[in-house]
Amino acid sequence: MKTAANMSIKQETYIPALGYDRLSNFYDRTIRWTMPEEKFRKRLVEQADLQTGEKVLEFGFGTASQTILLKKQTPGANITGVDVDLKIRELALEKVLKAGIEIQLDLYHGKTLPYPNATFDKVVSSLVFHQLDRTQKASALGEIHRVLKPGGELHIGDWGKARHIGMRLAFLLVQLLDGFKTTNDNVKGLLPGFIENAGFQEVGEAGFINTGIGTFSFYHGKKSK
């Protein structure tokens, strides 16, 4: 299993899983208890439709649940994960080791991704962008666009526009943990606009799932050839 050395560059401020570093160990159980995890992770895998030989980046691998599923679904894909959270990476490394698969899990400082231009065929991200403020969303999407190859695809699963008042009220729990500043744009359905502003084409919402804590949406975009 490949690993990356910890970066010495000062990290940008980020929101840990569940909003607080001390809660990171409970992340997997919380997702399992509050969301249809198998359903939304499988749907994102199907949407990304990885192919053997493709170079794929998971932006914000978290505890590597989505990363492992992507690799198991397409063993011949070359999958790399990147995240800013050292503690969460330690948890992810344990899970990857236990799964017995090869995935490179890199750390970065939260600004410039540590990859050359046009490196990846696809970028996948799950439950990350609601933890980024507007400046960070724009910066992250710009970097993702840079590291994608021409014609490369972006696939995001994250909180989206609340489909009715019940979903809006349910999402307050997420906002209390992760902050209103970062999550407001998601629940208003503004993430596709950020994706378009980063230069992506064919941007859209592929579908959504109403969960016990809000509406989970699936977005996609493509880098022009």
CB 58 within 8 A of CB 125: yes
61-74: average pLDDT: 95
Separation of alpha carbons 80 and 219, rounded Å = 20
The dihedrals phi and psi of 67, each to the nearest 5 degrees, come to -60, -45
pTM of the predicted structure, to 2 decimals: 0.86
Mean pLDDT rounded to a whole number for the chain: 88
For residue range 144-196, list pLDDT tens digits in order.
999 999 999 999 999 999 999 999 999 998 999 889 999 999 999 999 999 99
CATH of domain 17-222: 3.40.50.150
Predicted local distance difference test score (pLDDT) of residue 178 = 86
* Residue 7 DSSP class: P
Q: How confident is the model at residue 69 (pLDDT cuts 50, 70, 90)?
A: very high
pLDDT of 4 over the 50 cut: no
Predicted local distance difference test score (pLDDT) of residue 150 = 98
Task: Using a pLDDT cut of 70, give the percent of the chain over it.
Answer: 84
Separation of alpha carbons 174 and 137, rounded Å = 18
Residues in Cβ contact with 199 at an 8 Å cutoff, skipping those fewer than 6 apart: 142, 145, 223, 224
For residue range 98-111, list pLDDT tens digits in order.
999 989 999 999 89
Separation of alpha carbons 59 and 47, rounded Å = 16
Q: How confident is the model at residue 95 (pLDDT cuts 50, 70, 90)?
A: very high
pLDDT of 59 over the 80 cut: yes
Helices (H), 25-85: 27-34, 37-48, 65-73
Tokens of 27: 């992340």
80-90: average pLDDT: 92
In angstroms, the first-to-last Cα distance of the chain is 33
pLDDT of 8 over the 50 cut: no
Predicted local distance difference test score (pLDDT) of residue 217 = 97
Geometric angle at alpha carbon 185, from 180 and 187, rounded to 5°: 80
Q: How many CB atoms lie within 10 A of CB 51?
A: 12
Q: How confident is the model at residue 1 (pLDDT cuts 50, 70, 90)?
A: very low
Residue 216: C-alpha distances to residues 81, 94, 143, 156, 182 (Å): 22, 27, 24, 10, 16
For residue range 16-39, list pLDDT tens digits in order.
554 444 444 555 666 766 677 889
Domain residue ranges of the chain, discontinuous segments joined by +: 17-222
